[in-house]
Structure 1
Amino acid sequence: MKPWRAGRRPAAVCALAVPAAALLLSACGGSGGLESAGPTPTAVGPRELWPSLTPASAAVDDYGSGETDVVEGVAVPGGDLRRVDPVRVLRAQQAADPETYKDIAAGLADCGDPGRRGPDCPVLHAYFADLTGDGEDDMVVGVEAPKQQLVVRVYTYGGGTLTQIMNDEDAVISVELAGDTVVVRAVADLSGYEYRTSWSYDVHQKAMLPTRDEIVRTGPPRTPSASPSVTPPATPSGSPSRTPSAGPSPSAS
């Protein structure tokens, strides 16, 4: 079967005296007739390979998807995360798990509060957007880690509980907010390519999941810059400023 598309409207109308059969044959002098768009490709469904293969029952690697962490000891005035200093959040998590945060402990000490914020503070200023769909802003925090790694975290507040719902660590090129999705662009191990991971909130898991993970051609073979940057789609807080993991550690894997 061939699909058809209508031709352009003819400039002149054929004479009414011309029989209908002649109209069909002549197509008004060959102008404005139907034209073939060519043969339609045959639809081909997926073909299962090795149908007798025993399905795996467990993942080999722990990607960390769906892991969350309740943050204790941080007040959220009026339930508004914009009034929360991200440095206090990181310090609370450090107090609960000092070993995990040993690689950035010295930097956290340079983040002020009390005192003046120093240049070695690894905590970047926060951005805010409703990522969970509850009508309230969630907080996106970046933490610079050793080996040019950037940790990207998302915190949400509800029911009196502050919870970390995303933790991704990578050699980040940039971070973007696209609606309710966090897109992390990272350096790929192939020259001229980059990784792009889209994180979206899953209502069943109550966490941000990497719903799309791809490697994208970006140009001729080259070495992309690994300098982390954040594209600001929202208002920053008042505080100054490839294998992703989703554990609680901001240090390099």
Structure 2
Amino acid sequence: MSAPRIRTAVAVGLLLAALAACGDTGALRGAGPTATAMSPDRLWPDLRPASSPAWDYDDGEAELMRGVTAPGEDIHKLNPVAVVRAEITQHPDEYTGGKATYYETTRRMADCADGAARGRCPVLKPYYRDLTGDGRDDLTLGFRLLPGNQTAVRVYTFESGRLVQVMSNDDAVTGVELAGRSVIVRSPSDVAGYEYRFQWTWDPDQRVMLLTHDEMLRTGARNDAEHRSAPPSRPPRPSPSVSPSASGP
């Protein structure tokens, strides 16, 4: 027998001896008792179905951003600051009216001369990913809503040469993620050790991003100071009613 074969035989013998010493025969072993599967119980089967949603949210709506264009509909060539300025112009009651909610955001836009994510500019770094499935990148944009502790999260895409906002969410935000065709927004909860997670997913039929998941998830213990530092702007919401219509120019 050659030397390589002798070494192989010795190695196999040692391995078999080790397995025998451990008493492991390689057979399948039980993982313990399994919980009994239970079918859902339908409650109040005679309850009259609701004919309309309990709350009216302005979610699931597309909005045309007037006057914002890019060469060749290349969304990478858009100026993110110009996109936010277009929203401010189209919603004066929120940003520029006498009782504007986010007047400080408008004032701080003057600090955006050097572009987004520079100095005191409230516009955050833009991100690009194909969220609509048309093979072209879309724009995910965020900006601070001031005064307050909220962040605006928006998604834009080009349709027939026009820039359209297909997702809009304002909330106290602890994190934002892109996953597949979805935007996941994480927000603080008033219950210690938990957070809200809202998942917005592109719907090709409605041609907007819809709120497809709304849940409270455990994140681990947090101390009281951390818990009180960023209260949520609202409790968990039901899925919104959808009115996907882009306004004309």
What is the TM-score when the length of structure 2 is the normalising length? Answer: 0.71
> What is the match of residue 130 of structure 1?
130
Deviations 1:3-47 (A, max 9, x none): xxxxxxxx9xxxxxxxxxxxxxxxxxxx89898888876542211
Taking the aligned partners of 1:99 and 1:73, their CA distance within structure 2 comes to 19
> What is the match of residue 188 of structure 1?
189
Taking the aligned partners of 2:112 and 2:210, their CA distance within structure 1 comes to 30
Higher alpha-carbon Rg: 1
For 1:220, give the aligned amino acid.
A
4+ residue segments displaced more than 6 Å = 31-40, 115-118
Deviation at 1:147, TM superposition (A): 1.4
Deviation at 1:120, TM superposition (A): 2.7
Deviates more, 1:32-41 or 1:129-138: 32-41
The answer to whether the 8 Å contact 1:86/1:141 transfers is: yes
In the superposition, relative to structure 1, how do residues 176 and 34 fare at CA in structure 2: closer, same or farther (>3 Å)?
closer
Q: Secondary structure at the match of 2:52?
A: coil
* RMSD over aligned Cα atoms: 3.0
Gaps of 5+ in 2: 1-15, 17-24, 97-101, 241-249
Taking the aligned partners of 2:161 and 2:28, their CA distance within structure 1 comes to 66
> What is the match of residue 101 of structure 1?
95
> What is the match of residue 156 of structure 2?
155
The number of residue pairs the alignment matches comes to 202
Deviations 1:124-154 (A, max 9, x none): 1210000000101000001101311011000
Gaps of 5+ in 1: 1-10, 12-30, 228-241, 247-253
Which structure dedicates a bigger proportion of its chain to helix? Answer: 2
In the superposition, relative to structure 1, how do residues 80 and 46 fare at CA in structure 2: closer, same or farther (>3 Å)?
same
The answer to whether the 8 Å contact 1:129/1:138 transfers is: yes
Structure 2 residue 33 is matched with structure 1 residue 46: no
What is the TM-score when the length of structure 1 is the normalising length? Answer: 0.70
In the superposition, relative to structure 1, how do residues 168 and 33 fare at CA in structure 2: closer, same or farther (>3 Å)?
closer
Deviations 1:92-144 (A, max 9, x none): 2222332222322111222127x999733211121000000010100000110
Match of 2:65 among 71, 81, 84: 71
Q: Secondary structure at the match of 2:92?
A: coil
Q: Secondary structure at the match of 1:144?
A: strand
> What is the match of residue 207 of structure 1?
208
Match of 1:83 among 74, 77, 84: 77
Deviation at 1:203, TM superposition (A): 1.1
In the superposition, relative to structure 1, how do residues 135 and 42 fare at CA in structure 2: closer, same or farther (>3 Å)?
same
> What is the match of residue 218 of structure 1?
219
Q: Secondary structure at the match of 1:60?
A: coil
The answer to whether the 8 Å contact 2:181/2:201 transfers is: yes
The answer to whether the 8 Å contact 1:170/1:244 transfers is: no
Deviations 1:184-238 (A, max 9, x none): 11111111111111111011221111211111111124335649xxxxxxxxxxx
For 1:70, give the aligned amino acid.
L
Identity of aligned residues (%): 47
